Amino acid sequence: MSQQHLSEQEIIRRDKLKELQQLGIDAYPAPLFPVTHYSEDIKAGFSEETKDAYAQVTVAGRIMSLNGKGKVFFIKIQDSKGIIQLYVRRDDICPGEDKTLFDTVVKRLTDLGDIVGVTGAVFVTHTGETSVHAQSFTMLTKSLKPLPVVKRDAEGNVFDAVTDPEFRYRQRYADLIINADVKDTFVKRTKVINTIRDFLNEQGALEVDTPVLQAIPGGAAARPFVTHHNALDVPFYLRIANELYLKRLIVGGFDWVYEFSRNFRNEGMDRTHNPEFTVLEWYTAYKDYYWMMETTEKLFERLALAVHGTTDVQVGDKTISFKAPFKRISILDAIKENTGIDVSQMNEEALRATCQQLNISVAPSMGKGKLIDELFGATSEHTYTQPTFIIDYPVEMSPLTKKHREKAGLVERFELMINGKEIANAYSELNDPIDQRERFEDQVKLMERGDDEAMYIDYDFLRALEYGMPPTSGIGIGIDRLVMLLTNQPSIQDVLLFPQMRPESFE
């Protein structure tokens, strides 16, 4: 960045860096700094009885406040666990005649945002604040860009946070520094993933990896990102789902496999959709969608307890109960319940007329399955706040799902709705290779009508089914939406560390 594009504060900080260098102080020293204690651990563990254990600690962190005059400065630093105060006195860190470290470095060349380290003894100030009385002071990183100002009251509580999403999502590194609750969201995200992993591993499931670059974008109805494989000189696709690969492993003899899959869909962006997202999928041999519903209930109940210690979770102004069992209703009954219209016997023409009657916009390329999906999405999906299994979908909506054992024209499928959004999608998996081939061919006909989300035919997957896949149940769970629920975040961008955004211009 040229000098003419720098702000006044950025120029001042660069001048301070030069002055530090002229004093022989390396503002970016070798990375080893022997931290022994962290802020919250000190505050939780220090007492009159334990003070001897804290007679010498070494802490490091980013300066969040800097106050003082004369020979004493109070500095608050933020480390990975929280904030702690440093008591820095000139004669303690400069015991000899040379007072440059304090008078020049601490008082004049140190700024908010700098990363420093100190060694000293823990004590409690007259105001009752646990602090570190510094005996040494080391500049570890000079910050050249001022942090946005976060306003706090006398007790340190934030009353004017930085909330601009454009800034927060583009500069997540700064967002994490200045908005402490943001880090907590991502700690909870990891807890969610680890809890799921423990749940599955305890029951004997095997975690696996499948390709991100795929020759056939299969396993879902979605528009893929297209790339080119130079070595093979053929087009490849970023995966839209990993379903067909995991099913191949069931064919190969694994009884239960799962994967946290980073998927990519070249579609719209909104508060619940991001082109790059994470899905958990698992497939279990010799199970059906009834078993899957019961297992899913157990998992979600455990997740709520792990994150909140209770099955009642606050989401906005609603309290959502993750206590099993969850409500179950068929998709056709759900539409009837919310519209008063029975669509169960309607053909494509009648469904299209019903959509028009309800002012639901539909495309000419949509077949019967897509029309029912649009009807449910527009009239019913948003009404299910408490966890609800929407079950028994029409066969046209589910090209990878086994036909219902009792209800003609339907398949054994459920979607789990929570807070008006789909969180999970599961089937009794179709394992009849002839039926599967016919369903794929129906998808090709939809593609020819202009449906750019219709599925491709995966001939290798059909070959795998011809070897024989045991009766299997599978599920996909949207991890990002699940974390939104469990952390009470309104937007998917708030649970992604680096959401996609239009590139910035730095010119």
State the pLDDT confidence band at 4, using cuts at 50, 70 and 90. Answer: low
Is 162 domain-assigned?
A: no
- Confirm whether residue 422 is marked as ligand binding: yes
Q: In this structure, are 258 and 310 located in the same domain?
A: yes
**More confident of the two residues 108 and 3:** 108
Domain containing 448 equals 182-326+386-495
pLDDT of residue 218: 83
Give tens-digit pLDDT for 440-466: 888 888 888 877 767 778 999 999 999
- Rounded Cα distance, 473 and 488, in Å: 30
Is 164 domain-assigned?
A: no
Q: Are 37 and 60 in contact (CB under 8 A)?
A: no
Report for 320-324, 399-403, 434-438: range of highest mean pLDDT = 320-324
Beta partners for residue 327, in sequence order: 388
- Here the tokens at position 213 are 């670059």
Q: How many CB atoms lie within 10 A of CB 206?
A: 14
Q: How is 117-175 classified by DSSP, letter by letter?
A: EEEEEEEE-TTS-EEEEEEEEEEEE---SPPPP-EE-TTS-EEE----HHHHHHTHHHH
Q: Please tell me the total count of domains within the chain.
A: 3
- The CATH number of whichever domain residue 134 belongs to comes to 2.40.50.140
- Rounded Cα distance, 404 and 424, in Å: 19
pLDDT of residue 154: 60
CA 210 to chain centre: 20
Domain boundary among 381, 415, 448: 381
Q: In this structure, are 361 and 430 located in the same domain?
A: no
pLDDT of residue 155: 63
Is 156 domain-assigned?
A: no
Q: In this structure, are 375 and 390 located in the same domain?
A: no
Is 502 domain-assigned?
A: no
State the pLDDT confidence band at 119, using cuts at 50, 70 and 90. Answer: very high
Is 377 domain-assigned?
A: yes
Q: In this structure, are 299 and 199 located in the same domain?
A: yes
Closest CA to 60 of 42, 41, 29, 34: 34
Q: How many CB atoms lie within 10 A of CB 302?
A: 17
Looking at the chain, the whole-number percentage of residues with pLDDT higher than 90 is: 81
pLDDT of residue 457: 86
Q: In this structure, are 343 and 479 located in the same domain?
A: no
Q: In this structure, are 314 and 447 located in the same domain?
A: yes
pLDDT of residue 456: 79
- The CATH number of whichever domain residue 461 belongs to comes to 3.30.930.10
Q: In this structure, are 368 and 407 located in the same domain?
A: no
Q: In this structure, are 408 and 298 located in the same domain?
A: yes
> Crossing angle, helix 368-379 and helix 348-357, to 10 degrees?
30
Give tens-digit pLDDT for 144-163: 999 987 766 666 665 556 78
Is 159 domain-assigned?
A: no
Q: In this structure, are 322 and 214 located in the same domain?
A: yes
Q: In this structure, are 339 and 447 located in the same domain?
A: no
Give tens-digit pLDDT for 252-297: 999 999 999 999 999 988 888 999 999 999 999 999 999 999 999 9
- Confirm whether residue 294 is marked as ligand binding: no
Give tens-digit pLDDT for 396-410: 888 888 999 999 888
pLDDT of residue 159: 54
